[in-house]
């Protein structure tokens, strides 16, 4: 493994930006956004430099590390704060800084009217730095710091317009639900430390062979809880829709391209744990499968364009999580889908932002319609993202999603058939709801509110969209061609070789495309034929109502977690009040009582003070008398 001294700049540059903008205050209003963008771009440049360096080295020499400082040293427990850049983290570094920089550029225009644009950019830089720390940390503990950092940045950015109470509530909801996941991560770290005595990735990987399966399963389940929280996977998925309260560039960067994929990173990074804990691995697959269907279903009933896209994100990450649960055959494809998804989903979110920009911040798709004539560039870039997510060849999603479906079919046993079918159904539903989004927004008739005059967005906004669209076209083939990404990542995973092949790749592709075609046809049939009403119809089937309410996820959480939780806390508060507070109050009363009593000694007369000293001295003598005799 190589040693590098420049890894720290990757994180340091955006961190410096955040510090300067936050401490500099209003003085930096004029140029803060430019600085932030430049620093994010420089971090990207450092990343590219490292990529070139890595490519030029033989595979086993590619990972580099940098020790920063001795962090914690208590007895036998030593943690050095260090960074590790290997084939896996470089993928993330480039995605985070690359897409991140594009979104910085986009935000310059998108946020230009906002008084607090500087603060927004400071938070964006903070996010980039924290996310880089998450993927560059060389131990679970460093990862944890980054993990909490992105949680904080996400919270600050979702609630960026916190003058609206609903938005503030949304950020709080995201924060609280993420806490549940974070609990899982901290428990996983504690389990690692208790059973293996180390929390570094290399240490845990080494110890995993000598550790009991039970411990590894427990750790794996806790890691899964963490991943589910951050990546909005079942059963911790409910926050993502509300997170759309944040400014749209935030939704694109944090809640589509990068932060929500941290769970995929965590599981992939912990492959040595999951490969040795089949039960935990199975749970990963189940969670992924449930979420990919769940998210897709929610997507079908959303009229809010951002929430529809959020549901889609949830579902696509379900695909990735499922792939990671398949073990060594799936890791590379999970990452591949993660990267292509980063391109097309970020592109579509920016497109949604562009539409909102032109429509006076309207998010209800029922009030759009016919926008392709008014926003041609947005239409084309969004359309490319649409084709990519559907998995139409040769767009990026075709390669990455097909590989996941294929791996699911090839994972062996009866589970293979169930998983394969679920991923196919997911693809069909995805095709349905995405086509619905396209039709409602860009086709059909105008259903705008009065006074709305849609217009194309300025070049600062469409340029990043165009770049991402190019990525949505090309990234799939580039990563797939000659198994480029698979070969790149494979030194990191222990592949046990042989996999049975249930279906030929060409059959899988044909099946997938058929399913997509079915989904598209239903959507076209339903939404092109008849006029869409600008107010959602209410006389709909029970199922629609059920789906519209997000499959009752909030009601479920409320009924089964919040209410019992509230009851429990009420009980605890009562106990607290009577038992704990009671005794504390008693102590406090005693303290105040004796305090006031003792205060009497402090009467201000120097003669009393001197007497006190004398009494003290005499007591000392008395004590000595006792000691001596």
Partner 1 sequence: MTFTSPVLSYTLLSPMLILLGGALIGVLVEAFVSKAKRPIVQLTLALSVLTLALFQVWNIRGEQSLTPAMGSIIIDGPAVLLQGSILIISIIAILLIADTEHFTALPAALPGSEEERRAIAMGTQVTEVYPLTLFAVSGMLMFPVAGDLITLFVALEMLSLPLYLMAGLSRRRRLASQESALKYFLLGSFSSAFFLFGAAYLYGYSGSLDFAGIQTSVVGGTGNDVLLLIGIAFLSIGLLFKVGAVPFHSWAPDVYQGAPTPVTAFMAAATKVAAFGAMLRIYYTVFANAEWSWSPVLTAIAVITMLLGSLVAVTQRDVKRMLAYSSIAHAGFLLTGVIALNKSGLDATIFYLFAYGITTVGAFAVVTLVRDSSGEVTDLNRWKGLGKRSPFAASTFAFFLLAFAGIPLTSGFIGKFSIFSAAYESGATGLVLVAIFSSALAAFFYIRVIVLMFFSDASEDGTGVEIPSLLTRSTIVVSAAITLILGVYPTPIINFISDLAIFIR
Residues that bind partner 1 (CB under 8 A): 69-70, 73, 587-588, 591-592, 594-596, 598-599, 601-602, 604, 606, 608-610, 612-613, 615-617, 619-621, 623-624, 627-628
Q: 3 or 627, CB closer to partner 1?
A: 627
Q: 568 or 614, CB closer to partner 1?
A: 614
- Nearest approach in angstroms of CB 74 to partner 1 is 10
- Nearest approach in angstroms of CB 501 to partner 1 is 55
User: What is the distance between the alpha carbons of residues 338 and 316, in angstroms, rounded to a whole number?
Assistant: 9
The tokens describing 545, both together, are 């109502």
Strands 77-85 and 64-74: antiparallel
- Nearest approach in angstroms of CB 438 to partner 1 is 49
Q: 413 or 593, CB closer to partner 1?
A: 593
Q: Which residues of 251-269 are buried (b: 16+ CB within 10 A; e: fewer)?
A: bbbbbbbbbbbbbbbbbbb
Beta-strand ranges (E) seen in 4-128 are 64-74, 77-85
- Nearest approach in angstroms of CB 581 to partner 1 is 13
Q: 510 or 613, CB closer to partner 1?
A: 613
Query: What is the phi-psi region of residue 246: left when phi exceeds 0, alpha when psi lies from -120 to 50, beta otherwise?
Result: beta
On whether the CB atoms of residues 447 and 366 are closer than 8 A, the answer is yes
Q: 566 or 594, CB closer to partner 1?
A: 594
Helix/strand/coil (H/E/C) assignment for every residue in 171-232? HHHHHHHHHHHHHHHHHHHHHHHHHHCCCEHHHHHHHHHHCCHHHHHHHHHHHHHHHHHHCC
- SS3 percent helix, strand, coil of the chain, rounded to 5, is 75, 5, 20
User: What is the distance between the alpha carbons of residues 157 and 449, in angstroms, rounded to a whole number?
Assistant: 29
Q: 78 or 555, CB closer to partner 1?
A: 78
- Nearest approach in angstroms of CB 595 to partner 1 is 4
Q: Which residues of 435-450 are buried (b: 16+ CB within 10 A; e: fewer)?
A: bbbbbbbbbbeebbee
- Nearest approach in angstroms of CB 73 to partner 1 is 7
- Nearest approach in angstroms of CB 612 to partner 1 is 5
Q: 578 or 620, CB closer to partner 1?
A: 620
On whether the CB atoms of residues 138 and 202 are closer than 8 A, the answer is yes
Alpha carbon distances (Å) from 212 to 222, 243, 272 = 16, 39, 13
Name, in order, each residue with C-beta under 8 angstroms of 548's C-beta and a sequence gap of 6 or more.
301, 536, 540
The tokens describing 449, both together, are 């509110």
- Nearest approach in angstroms of CB 602 to partner 1 is 6
Q: 528 or 601, CB closer to partner 1?
A: 601
Q: 562 or 624, CB closer to partner 1?
A: 624
- Nearest approach in angstroms of CB 80 to partner 1 is 11
């Amino acid at each position: 493994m190589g040693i590098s001294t420049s890894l720290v700049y990757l994180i340091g540059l955006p961190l410096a930006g955040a510090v300067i903008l936050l401490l500099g205050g209003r003085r930096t209003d004029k140029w803060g956004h430019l600085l932030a963008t430049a620093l994010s771009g420089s971090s990207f440049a450092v990343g590219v430099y490292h990529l070139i360096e890595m490519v030029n080295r033989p595979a086993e020499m590619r990972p580099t590390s940098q020790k920063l400082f001795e962090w914690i040293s208590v007895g036998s427990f030593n943690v050095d704060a260090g960074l590790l850049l290997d084939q896996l983290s470089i993928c993330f570094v480039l995605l985070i800084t690359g897409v991140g920089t594009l979104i910085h550029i986009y935000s310059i225009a998108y946020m230009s009217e906002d008084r607090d644009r500087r603060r927004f950019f400071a938070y964006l830089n903070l996010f980039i730095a924290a996310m880089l720390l998450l993927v560059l940390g060389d131990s679970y503990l460093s990862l944890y710091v980054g993990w909490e950092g992105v949680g904080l940045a996400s919270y600050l950015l979702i609630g960026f317009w916190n003058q609206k109470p609903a938005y503030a509530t949304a950020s709080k909801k995201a924060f609280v639900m993420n806490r549940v996941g974070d609990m899982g991560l901290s428990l996983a770290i504690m389990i690692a430390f208790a059973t293996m005595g180390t929390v570094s990735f290399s240490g845990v990987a080494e110890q995993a062979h000598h550790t009991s399966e039970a411990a590894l399963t427990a750790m794996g389940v806790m890691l899964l809880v963490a991943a589910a929280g951050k990546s909005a996977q079942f059963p911790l998925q409910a926050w993502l829709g509300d997170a759309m309260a944040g400014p749209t560039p935030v939704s694109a960067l944090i809640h589509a391209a990068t932060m929500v994929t941290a769970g995929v990173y965590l599981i992939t990074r912990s492959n040595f744990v999951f490969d040795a804990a089949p039960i935990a691995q199975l749970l990963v697959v189940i969670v992924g499968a449930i979420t990919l269907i769940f998210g897709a279903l929610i997507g079908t009933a959303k009229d809010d364009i951002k929430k529809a896209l959020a549901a889609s994100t949830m579902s696509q990450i379900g695909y990735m999580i499922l792939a990671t649960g398949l073990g060594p055959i799936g890791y590379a494809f999970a990452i591949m889908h993660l990267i292509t998804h980063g391109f097309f989903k970020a592109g579509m979110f920016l497109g949604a932002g562009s539409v909102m920009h032109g429509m006076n911040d309207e998010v209800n798709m029922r009030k759009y319609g016919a926008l392709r004539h008014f926003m041609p560039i947005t239409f084309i870039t969004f359309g490319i993202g649409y084709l990519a997510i559907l998995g139409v060849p040769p767009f990026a999603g075709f390669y990455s999603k097909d590989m996941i479906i294929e791996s699911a079919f090839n994972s062996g046993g009866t589970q293979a058939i169930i998983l394969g079918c679920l991923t196919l159904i997911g693809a069909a539903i995805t095709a349905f709801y995405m086509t619905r989004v396209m039709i409602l927004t860009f086709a059909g008739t105008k259903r705008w509110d009065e006074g709305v005059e849609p217009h194309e967005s300025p070049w600062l906004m469409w340029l990043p969209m165009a770049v991402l669209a190019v990525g949505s076209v090309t990234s799939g083939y580039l990563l797939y061609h000659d198994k480029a990404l698979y070969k790149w990542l494979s030194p990191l995973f222990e592949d046990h070789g042989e996999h049975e092949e249930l279906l030929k790749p060409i059959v899988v592709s044909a099946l997938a495309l058929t399913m997509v075609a079915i989904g598209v046809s239903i959507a076209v049939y339903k939404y092109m034929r008849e006029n869409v009403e600008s107010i959602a119809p209410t006389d709909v089937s029970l199922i629609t109502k059920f789906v519209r309410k997000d499959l009752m996820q909030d009601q479920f959480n409320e009924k089964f977690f919040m209410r019992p939780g509230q009851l429990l806390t009420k009980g605890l508060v009562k106990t607290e009040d009577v038992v704990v507070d009671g005794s504390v109050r008693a102590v406090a009363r005693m303290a105040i009582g004796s305090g006031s009593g003792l205060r009497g000694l402090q009467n201000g007369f120097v003669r009393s003070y001197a007497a006190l000293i004398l009494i003290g001295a005499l007591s000392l003598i008395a004590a000595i008398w006792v000691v001596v005799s």
